[in-house]
A and B are shown apart, each in its own frame.
Chain A
Amino acid sequence: MTHKEFMAFIWPSLLAMALFIAVPIISVAYQSMFVEHEQIMIETETCGPFGCTPEVAVDQDAMRKVREDSPAGRFNGLDTYTNSSHLATDEITEIVATSENFGEIRDRIMNLPFYKALIFTLSYTFIVTPLVIVFGFIIAVVVNSIPSFLKGPVIFFSLLPMIVTPLVGSLVLFWMIDSRGVVGAFLQYLFADPSLSLKASPTLTWVTLFVYGVWHSAPFAFVVFYAGLQTVPSDTLESSMVDGANRWEQIRFVVMPYLLPLATFVALMQLMDNFRIFEPIIGFSASASATSLSYLIYTDLREAETPLFGSAAATSMLTIIGVIILLLPVLFRNAREFNRKA
Chain B
Amino acid sequence: MALFQTSSDNPAAQKSTALAVLSVAFVLVWLFIAAFPFLWTAWGSFKAEGDFFSRADWMNAIAGPATTAQTGGAFTLDGYRGAWIEKEFWRAAMNTGIVTLCVTMISLTLGTLGGYALARSGFRYTFWILIAALVFRAMPHVTLVSGYLLPFFQLNIWGYLPTTIIVLVAINQPFTLWMLHSFFLSIPKDLDEAAMVDGCTRFQAFRLAIIPVMWPGVVTTGLFSFLLAYNDFTTTSMLLTETNATMIPKINSFLGSTQEEGKVMYAVAAVVSAIIPLFVLIMFFQRQIVSGLTAGAVKG
Contact = CB atoms under 8 A, between A and B. Distances in A.
B117 A9 contact: yes
Given A180-B55, A185-B58, A152 B138 contact: no
Main secondary structure of the interface of A (DSSP, over half): helix
Interface residues of B, number: 115
Interface stretch (B68-76, B85-93, B124-132): B124-132
B142 A324 contact: no
Contacts of A232: 3
Interface in A202-234: 215, 219-220, 223-224, 226-227, 229-232, 234
Interface in A259-281: 261-262, 265, 268-269, 272, 275-276, 278-279
Contacts, number: 293
B284 to A, nearest CB: 9
Q: How many of chain A's residues touch chain B, expressed as a range?
A: 35 or more
Interface in B245-268: 248, 251-252, 255, 264, 267-268
Contacts of B138: 272, 275-276, 319-320, 323-324
Given A17-B133, A316-B139, A316-B143, A6 B251 contact: no
A10 interface: yes
B58 A180 contact: yes
B37 A6 contact: no
8 contacts: A14-B114, A152-B282, A167-B252, A171-B267, A172-B40, A172-B41, A316-B139, A342-B124
Interface of A: 1, 3, 5-6, 8-10, 12-14, 16-17, 19-22, 24-25, 27-28, 138-139, 141-146, 148, 151-169, 171-173, 175-176, 178, 180-182, 185, 215, 219-220, 223-224, 226-227, 229-232, 234, 237-238, 241, 245-247, 250, 261-262, 265, 268-269, 272, 275-276, 278-279, 293-294, 297-298, 301-302, 307, 309, 312-313, 316, 319-320, 323-324, 327, 331, 334-335, 338, 341-342
Given A10-B129, A180-B56, 11 more contacts: A12-B110, A20-B166, A142-B26, A142-B27, A157-B35, A166-B231, A166-B233, A231-B216, A247-B19, A250-B12, A301-B142
